[in-house]
Structure 1
Amino acid sequence: MTTFSERVSGSAEALRALFPATPLQENDYLSRKYGARILLKREDLTPVRSYKIRGAFTFFRKALAHEGDTATFVCASAGNHAQGFAFVCRHFGKKGVVFMPVTTPQQKIDKTRMFGGGFVEIKLVGDYFDDCYRAALAFAETTGSRMVPPFDHKDIIEGQATVGLEIAAQMPNGRAPDIVAVPIGGGGLAAGVTQYFAEAGASPRYLFCEPAGAPSLRESLAAARRVKLDRVDNFVDGAAVAEIGREPFRNLKGFSADSVTLVPENRLCATMIEMLNVEGVVLEPAGALAIDALKDLPRKEIKGKTIVLIVSGGNFDFERLPDVKERALRFEGLKKYFVFRFPQRPGALRDFLALLGPDDDITRFEYLKKSARNFGSVLIGIETKDAKNFGRLAKRFHETGWAYQDITDDETIAEFVV
């Protein structure tokens, strides 16, 4: 009977029919910044700009070997899994059906259709992922088609494990990394990489990186069982999973909850902007998780260490860029939103503007309502070049008697008025 690492080796060899091994690149900028040797595993450079193609290809290859050429394949996804699935359908010349929510951005629909060529049919069902996932399962059951899961299957895990095999082969001087940072969604990538390294006799420290708004692995490890989250922040759409996969959790349940770092979504946006501006690297939110997690590692613990960061994907929709920049500015303390009680008198706006410093800029000014005949509630957004300027502004507002509320971090209010 073959071992897991032997099967992964076979899968990696078969993958070479689609694309060469993605590069493991030393990043000088991050290495200098953190005082460590930082290597990026560039999964954003696969043909579909994410690692998901690896699992989909391995699943197809094994299914076709067992079932022949009669199988039709189905998946439910609005992102990277759909695109990897579509690419593999075209490669094997097999019919595939992709279920997506009706709310899926047209750009993602078009890219999936492009990768699939004439072999993929797209069905838009429901407003949310759960709706289209149920529809896909029902379709697969009634038609006898093969459902291709995004992460919860041993063949998917085997395909994702080829990332670990390539890292091991590409490491300078053949040495194992000291730390491997792995983004977590459903857990298929982490399950494959950790199992491969374990069988290869390597024991790096793992830094599992989850969005703060979707800590399914951390909660599950803390409870020593799979936990389904009641609520998930979908901003990091490539990793916002309510429940870690059953099969991946079998591989990961031996790790401690402390091995998972939770990445704040707004801080992640600052990392995305930093990598775009400094390195010219376009990353989706999930693809930046491992890079951002470096911020949580004490410098004395990583000084001189070799750290591999798995960059899981670069499928970024640039229509989201204004939101990403906004979140980044708010995280860095360079932008805030206030609701002011504005007097309804001539010259009030001029008096307010006189309080602003030379680096302060009003980016939004909107009357919300007149709460009294002589006053009105005004939403004001202010952006500045130095976060310390807001302390100075607060002092001026207080000294001149302006009544206001800072709503920047009040999610309930900001969701409705910002």
Structure 2
Amino acid sequence: MTDFAQAAKAATAALRDLFAPTPLLRNAYLSDRYGADIWLKREDLSPVRSYKLRGAFNAMRKVRAAQPDQTAFVCASAGNHAQGVAFVCAHFGVKGRIYMPVTTPEQKILKTRTFGGEAIEIALEGDFFDETLAAAKAWCAKAGAHFLSPFDDADVIEGQASVAVEMLDQLGRAPDHLILPVGGGGLSAGMLSYLRAVGAETHPILVEPVGGPSLTAALRIGAPQTIEITDTFVDGAAVARIGDRTFEVLRDIPKRDVHLVPENRICVTIQEMLNLEGIVLEPAGALSINVLEDVAEQIRGKTVVCVTSGGNFDFERLPEVKERAQNWQGLKKYFILRLPQRPGALRDFLDLLGPGDNITRFEYLKKNSRNFGSVLIGIETDQSTMFDDLEERVASRGFGFRDITNDQILADFLI
């Protein structure tokens, strides 16, 4: 057994002071749907509802062992890493200073404070994460504290490898395929390092959101690079730059094994898992399940483990999830309707709608002239093919009708 494998096992054993192994559960719904033996490694059921607790604990454990006098730690995070650090600060009885952007939702601040209690102090600095990170590192250097990286740290990577240790013990064998979300790369680097160290013949499939493909970009040029995040919806995986250490582990992954999935499609998975299975997943936690439809032929008849990396979902986001899911499924659209300013014009338009159509928004924007006015209208339907038929009917009656659903500028401004 290699040194890394031994260290990962030691980290796993030490974690038992905090929590029992997260469940590895076979999912009958997904197994039947894809004709495979599909298991979910439920990191969404850890004490902080994500795997981040593992790396934070292992890094702090090793720092404390090497430097017993080190009692001050700092991190920068607006999400799962902050909660993991808060939890382990309380566990070890040390002081933690957690930097978060000023724009962090109050719900995330309260959850972090709940886990850390009197052991932590939360500092809100910067409108953007880069500013928050700079403030955290500046204070860290000034105060002589230890900075806990969210992913690009050898001890953090080692701690995340404990997910693989548990998985092999629980399954009793190596799965044919392991599907992992990728953000900064800590989870994938840790788990794949352990599987390689023990000689497991498991084929990895890695998943990123379309709006934050940092690993894909790094593989393209052979080195980490800073990318522009075009969609922050999958906040747990939309990372602008993959870690240097983590990329060294992942650099040999074939590009064909790194998949990009659309944010709106992820929302369909979030809804399905909540409504059909009663499983609450955050967007990043749904990545490994969402990609199954892209690799369906590859995994058919195989044993597959999907890591559901987190379940810290703010239910205030449910309307957005529903909206995005309907957009992907073609069940909801927004239009600008040019409506004649005459009695009965609105009734004439409403008569064009079918029995399964529902107007969810109706807002006069302005009159373009004495004779016409512009209306923002949102329509839901139960059949995606309805919209093509509706547009033909509307055009035949002489109404102006423009689909702005995917016009990002107009949608952001009007919707």
TM-score (norm 2): 0.98
Q: How many Å apart are 1:128 and its aligned residue? A: 1.4
Q: Which residue of 1 aligns with 2:395?
A: 398
1:178: which partner in 2?
A: 176
1:373 CA displacement: 2.0
- Rounded to whole Å, the distance in 1 between the matches of 2:372 and 2:135 is 53
Q: Which residue of 1 aligns with 2:316?
A: 319
The equivalences for 1:343-354 within 5 A come to 343-354=340-351
Task: Report the Cα distance in structure 2 between the residues aligned to 1:184 and 1:108, rounded to whole angstroms.
Answer: 22
What does residue 206 of structure 2 align with? 208
- What aligned pairs does 1:242-391 form with structure 2 within 5 A after superposition? 242-299=240-297, 301-391=298-388
1:98 aligns with 2:98: yes
> Which AA in structure 2 matches 1:82?
A
Number of the residue aligned with 1:189: 187
Which one-letter code corresponds to 2:16 in the other structure? Answer: R
Which residue number in structure 2 is paired with residue 236 of structure 1?
Answer: 234
Contact kept, 8 Å, 2:365 with 2:376, in 1: the verdict is: yes
5+ residue gaps, structure 1, are none
Q: Give me the identity figure in percent.
A: 57
Equivalent residue, structure 1, for 2:412: 415
Q: Secondary structure at the match of 1:359?
A: coil
2-structure distance, mates of 1:136, 1:376: 53
Q: Counterpart in 2 of 1:142?
A: 142
Give 4+ residue runs of structure 1 displaced > 4 Å after superposition: none
In the alignment, residue 41 of structure 1 is paired with which amino acid? K
Query: What is the rounded CA distance, in whole Å, between the counterparts of 1:349 and 1:215 in structure 2?
Result: 45
Cα distance between partner residues in 1 of 2:356 and 2:66: 66
**Correspondence 1:25-174 to 2 at 5 A:** 25-171=25-171, 174=172
CA–CA distance in 1 between the matches of 2:408 and 2:179?
30
Q: Which residue does the alignment assign to 1:223? A: 221
Task: Return the alpha-carbon distance in structure 2 between the equivalents of residues 85 and 372 of structure 1.
Answer: 60
Q: Structure 1 length as normaliser, TM-score?
A: 0.98
Q: How far has the Cα of 1:2 moved from its partner?
A: 6.4
RMSD: 1.1
Aligned length: 415
Aligned residues of 2:229 and 2:239 also touching (Cα < 8 A): no
Cα distance between partner residues in 2 of 1:412 and 1:149: 36
Report the AA paired with residue 342 of structure 1. Answer: L
